[in-house]
Structure 1
Amino acid sequence: MKQHVYLKEKKSMQEEFENQLMKSQIEVQEMTSNELAKELHDNVGQLLSCTKMFIGITQRSLAQIPDTLNLAEETLGKAINELRALTKSMDKEWLEQFDLITNLENEINRINAAKTIRINLSHCGKLGLDTQKQIILFRITQEAIQNAIKHADSENISINITTILNTIDLKIYDDGKGFDLESANTGLGIRNMKQRIGLLGGSICWDTSVYGSKINIQLPINDDKYEN
């Protein structure tokens, strides 16, 4: 009887884990799609327009030293490289090889480029965590960053990732105005964050005040909780 209940609970948790994984993958893809469209319009489109202009100039001045041709080729090369990098993020292969640190660095660089808030990241390198769990952990971290930006009016955020005794220790600090954790428990995605980290076999806690907030996440690296 106990074995039957255990297997039933394990199956239920496995199904919930897979649902949350799929949801996280869709969310990551949607956010990447939005950034891709913006970058294609604002960045790559501008590079291609410049290339067309340089080629046009060269065509009208072929009797002179064609320095603009070299510049056009260089600009086109940049456009092609950026396009490849952006479109690669939409591939299924990208999700299968998902790396938390690399994607978190890209996310932080994108946010810092706006110069409205400063995020600093320190980490211990590659994490010994399977890609599925890294995707879900990335979404949890993304949500924490967005909460600090949108709701806490933070100017600075610090993220520190270390591994201690086969456990990932992820801390997120911000210098915002804080919030009431009890009243915010039904909002700010806090319940969702708790549910997701619970499915990963980890723990998450908040420490908040008028001087800022701290989120502490701990996650076991080797956990066969959802292994077949």
Structure 2
Amino acid sequence: MSSMSYEPTQIFFIVLSGIILMLLMSGFIIVMVLLHRQQQLRNHQKMDSLRAEYEKTMLKVEKEIQDQTLSFIGQELHDNLGQILSLTKLTLNSPDEESFSEGKRLINHAIKEVRSLSKRLNLDWVKEVKLQDFISNELQKIEASGFCKTQFETNVEALTLDQDKKLVLIRIIQECLNNIIKHAEPSVIYISLMEKNDALSVTVKDNGKGFDAEDKSKGMGLHNLKSRIETIGGTLNLSSIIGIGTEIKLLLPFE
């Protein structure tokens, strides 16, 4: 029976090879661990950045809605409530009983208006209002002002949205309508609110002047709208033709 024997030099090279292999494996593992930790750090930094951007967006949206609400309340106090109270004063100056009854009715109406306005001083109304009701009310106000005709189409009956998402959508729709009123000169504003393929779709369209969507001087507002919808996981697409009108489509996937 024969046995295999190794020269001391061979044994040395075998041991040395084993050590080198172990060092290479150890080095590879260390490099992989370091790369993994760097990736984790980058992911944490990205998440922190996204979270900060989200919080910044929400704070800005809340402030803008509050500012717009205060502007609306100031206008209502001047144009609506002020007119009611002036009419009440004139009515109560008359001595007959019928005028007194009409004055009481006007005072009750003024109290209701004050209560309604007080509810809008904070953002609690966002929790209560349905998105479809908000859109319908905004379009009714535009049409009642005589600015232009409006159309609203929806297949949404029961819609549950996170308050922050609803807040952002409300602000984007407000901004779209403000831009139309300021610049578009349309005869019709059309909005649709649809549930499609596990997503909420909002389309805001007008038949006004349109504009060059590639014009960088008009791109900042669009960039802000895109940034906001992306913050809550949605997308925005705009198309506009000069002399034909503008269409903005928002798509927000359901969780």
Shorter chain as normaliser: what TM range? 0.7 to 0.9
Aligned to 1:108: 139
Name the CA distance, whole Å, in 2 between partners of 1:99 and 1:19: 25
The one-letter code matched in structure 2 to 1:130 is D
| Percentage of matched positions with identical amino acids | 31
The 2-side partners of 1:147 and 1:174 are apart by 11
Cα shift at 1:177: 2.1
Matches within 5 A, 1:144-223: 144-184=176-216, 186-187=218-219, 189-209=221-241, 210-222=243-255
Query: Does residue 21 of structure 1 match 2:58?
Result: yes
Query: Which of the two has higher C-alpha Rg?
Result: 2
| More divergent stretch after superposition (153-162 vs 84-93) | 84-93
Q: Give the superposition deviation at 1:117.
A: 1.8
Counterpart amino acid of residue 204 in structure 2: I
TM-score when scaled to structure 1?
Answer: 0.86
- How big is the shift at 1:16? 0.7
Look up the equivalent residue of 2:85 and give its one-letter code: L
Higher RCO structure (Cα 8 Å, ≥6 apart):
1
1:78 aligns with 2:109: yes
Q: CA deviation at 1:187?
A: 3.5
12-21 or 184-193, which deviates more: 184-193
TM-superposed CA distance for 1:188, in Å, is 5.9
Determine the C-alpha separation between the residues in 2 that align with 1:112 and 1:148.
Answer: 13
Q: CA deviation at 1:133?
A: 0.9
In structure 2, give the amino acid aligned to 1:142.
Answer: Q
> Is 1:135 matched up with 2:172?
no
Report the CA distance between 1:89 and its aligned residue: 0.4
Aligned partners of 1:40 and 1:126: how far apart in 2?
A: 33
Take 1:99 and 1:20, find their aligned partners in 2: how far apart are those partners?
Answer: 22
Q: Does 1:69 align with 2:100?
A: yes
Q: Is the 8 A contact 1:155 1:176 kept in 2?
A: yes
Q: Which amino acid aligns with 1:215?
A: I
The code of the aligned residue for 1:54 comes to T
Question: Which has the higher mean CA deviation after the structures are superposed, 154-163 or 118-127?
Answer: 118-127
Tell me the distance in 2 between the aligned counterparts of 1:187 and 1:179: 11
Q: Deviations over 1:119-164 (max 9, x none)?
A: 2222224432111111111111112222222222222110000112
Relative to structure 2, which stretch is displaced further, 2-11 or 33-42?
Answer: 2-11
- Structure 1 residue 23 displacement after superposition: 0.6
Could you say what secondary structure the match of 1:187 adopts?
Answer: helix
Cα–Cα, structure 1 residues 52 and 149, in superposed 2: closer, same or farther, change >3 Å?
closer
Which residue in 2 is equivalent to 1:226?
none
Q: Extract unaligned runs of 5+ from structure 1.
A: 223-228
CA contact 2:205–2:247 (8 Å) conserved in 1: yes
**Which of 78, 91, 98 is equivalent to 2:122?**
91
The change in CA–CA distance for 1:119 and 1:208 in structure 2 (over 3 A counts) is: same
After superposition, the C-alpha distances for 1:102-123 in whole angstroms (9 at most, x for unaligned) are 3333322222222022222222
Classify 1:194/1:92 alpha carbon distance in 2 versus 1 (closer, same or farther; 3 Å). closer
2:179 maps to amino acid: N
- Is contact 1:157–1:175 with CA below 8 Å preserved after alignment? yes
